Amino acid sequence: MMMMGETWSQLGSLIATAMFLWAMFDKYFPYQLRGPILTYSKKLASFVYPYIQIKFQEFTGEYLKRNEAYAAIETYLSNKSSAEARSLKAVVVRDSNQPVQLSMDENEEVTDEFEGIKVWWTAKSITPRTQSNPFYPETEEKRYYKLTFHKSHREILCGKYINHVLQEGKAITVRNRQRKLCINNPSQNWGGYKSRKWSHVTFEHPASFDTLAMESKKKEEIINDLIKFSQGKEYYAKIGKAWKRGYLLYGPPGTGKSSMIAAMANFMNYDIYDLELTTVKDNTELRRLLIETTSKSIIVIEDIDCSLDLTGQRKKKKEQVNDEEKKDPASKMAKGEEESNSKVTLSGLLNFIDGLWSACGGERIIVFTTNYVEKLDPALIRRGRMDKHIEMSYCGFEAFKVLAKNYLNIDSHPLFMTIGHLLEETNITPADVAENLMPKSLYDDAETCLKKLIEAIKTAKEEAIKKAEEEARLKAEKEEKEKQETTQEDVKVDESSAKEVKENGVEVVIEDKTLAKEINENGVTA
C-alpha cells in the first residue's frame, strides 16, 4: 500500500513538473525557436505513437466562411454521436425536415469503421486569447473535428474514407432537407439587402407515380429514365455533355402535366424552380436566374406556347397593330391581349437550355409543358434539348383503375366493364374522371360515385357527338359559301370579258361570246 502511494506521488510530481516546464516554454521561450523544437519533438513522438491526426476546422478563410467539410462530417457523425456519445449538443439546421440535429459535445469521441479499419473522431474546441480583427470578430471558440487513425492505413483513409464521409454527409443533408418550390422575382426586386432572385415555399405536394393516372408501362419507362439520369454523372462527363435532361409534357388541359412534375420531384427528391418567363426582361437576366438554381432541381416552364411569342421569331414579324389599338390600350386588354415587356428571344432560351450556360451546375431536369405542341418551334423541342417527349393523353381504362384505387380504394367492381367500354368511345380527361369519383357527401359510396362517372361519360359522349355534328355543319356551310363565292367570281369574269362593238356610231354589246357573229361591212348583224 505504501509503494502504491509513493508511485502516485512520484507520478503527480512528474506531471506537475512537465506542466510547469510547458508553461514556461509557452510563455517565455522565443517564438522563432518554437517551430523547429515542436517539429522535431513530434517526429520523436511518432516513433512511439504511430497514429496520424487530421483536423477539420469549422471556419476557414479570411472572412470566416463555414467549412463545408465540417458540416458534412457533423451530419455524417450525427447518428453515431446520438448512439455512442454521452455528452451531446443540439444543432439547429435550417431548411431541413429535422430542424434539430444531435452532435457530440467537445472532448467527446466516437469510433467508425471503414473496410475493416477502425478510426476515431473527436470533437475539440480552442478558445482564442485575443481578438485580432475588430471588424471581423472571431467566434468565442474555434471548433474542429479530429480524425485519428494508424499510419499504416494512411493511403486508404486519406483518400477513399474522407471522400466517403464527405459524400455521405452531403447525401444525408439532401435527404433530410426541406424541399422548395421556387418562383423567380421581378428584376426590379433583385437589389437591396438580403434580396433574392428566387422566392420559395416548402414543397409539400403529395403526388407520386403510384397515384398518377397513367398506364403502368409508360410510368415504368419514365421511372427508369429518371433513375438512369440520376446515376449518370460519370457517363455524361464521359460523352462531354452537361448533366441535364429535358422533358416535354404535352396534351390537353386536365391530363395531369402538373401532377407529373410533382411526382418526378418527389421521386427524385428534387427542388422545383417554376420559371415565369414574362417577368424576365432579357436573355442576360435569364442566365443570371439559371446560375442561381441549385443542383438536384427541376426547372419548369409551364405553357411554353403562351409564356412568350417565341414561335414566330424565325418567321416574319407580325404586322403592327392599327393606330386605334395603339392609342387605346384598353381595347387591346378587352380582347384578352396582354403586352409583355420581355425581350427574351428564342436563341436566348435555347442557350439557356442547351448552350454553354446550361453547363453551369449539374443534375438538373428542364421541363416544358404545352397544350398545343404543334405551335412550338421545332428547334425548341428537338432531341438533345427536350430529350424525352411524354404525351399526357385522355383517361384510359388502366388510368381509371388507378384513380378508382386512389379515390374509392377499390380494385374491381361490376361497373368497371361498362366504364371501360365507355372510355374506349369517349375522350375524357383524368381530371374530370377524378372529380366524379370523389365522394361529395358522407352517404356517397363506391357504387354511387361509379354511376355518377358513367353518367358524366355519357354526357361527354353526347356533347362530343353534338360538337362533331356542329363542326360538320359549319364546314359544309363554309364549303357552300366558298362555292357560291367562286361561282359569282366566275360570272363577273365572264361579264368583264364581254366584248363591245362600235360601228357607225352604234354600240352593240355581245353578251354571249360563243354565239357572237361578225359584223358585216354594211353594219348589219348576221
Phi and psi dihedrals of 234, rounded to 5? -70, -35
What mean pLDDT comes out for the span 107-131?
84
Query: Which cell goes with 354?
Result: 442547351
Q: CA of 63: how far to CAs of 74, 137, 177, 196, in Å?
A: 21, 10, 26, 22
Sign of CA dihedral 189, 194, 198, 204: negative
What mean pLDDT comes out for the span 140-159?
87
For the ranges 68-82, 193-207, 291-305, 315-329, which has the lowest average pLDDT?
Answer: 315-329
Q: Which of 457, 458, 460, 438 is nearest to 449 (CA)?
A: 438
The three-state (H, E, C) secondary structure of 136-204, written as one string: CCCCCCEEEEEEEEEHHHHHHHHHHHHHHHHHHHHHHHHHHECCEEEEECCHHHCCCCCCCCEEEEECC
Q: Quick count: other Cβ atoms within 10 Å of Cβ 142? A: 15
For the ranges 39-53, 199-213, 258-272, which has the lowest average pLDDT?
Answer: 39-53
Query: Which cell goes with 14?
Result: 512528474
pLDDT tens, 369-413?
999 888 888 888 888 789 999 999 999 999 999 999 999 999 999
What mean pLDDT comes out for the span 70-97?
82
State the pLDDT confidence band at 25, using cuts at 50, 70 and 90: low
In order, the DSSP letters of 99-144 are SEEEEEPTT-EEEEEETTEEEEEEEEEE--SS-S-SSSPPPSSEEE
Cβ atoms of 75 and 169 closer than 8 Å: yes
- Which residues sit opposite 53 in a β-bridge? 148
Evaluate if pTM is beyond 0.85. Answer: no
**pLDDT value, residue 524:** 47
State the pLDDT confidence band at 86, using cuts at 50, 70 and 90: confident
**pLDDT value, residue 315:** 46
**pLDDT value, residue 37:** 67
The answer for residues whose C-beta is within 8 angstroms of residue 44's C-beta and 6 or more apart is none
**pLDDT value, residue 103:** 82
Cβ atoms of 120 and 54 closer than 8 Å: no
More confident residue, 123 or 187: 123
pLDDT tens, 445-488?
999 999 999 999 999 999 989 988 998 889 888 888 888 888 77
CA angle 91/94/100 to nearest 5° reads 35
pLDDT tens, 152-191?
899 899 989 999 999 999 888 888 888 899 999 988 778 7
- Which residues sit opposite 125 in a β-bridge? 143
Cβ atoms of 106 and 142 closer than 8 Å: no
State the pLDDT confidence band at 88, using cuts at 50, 70 and 90: confident
Percent of the chain at pLDDT above 70? 74
Q: Check whether 101 has a pLDDT greater than 50.
A: yes
Residue with cell 388541359: 253
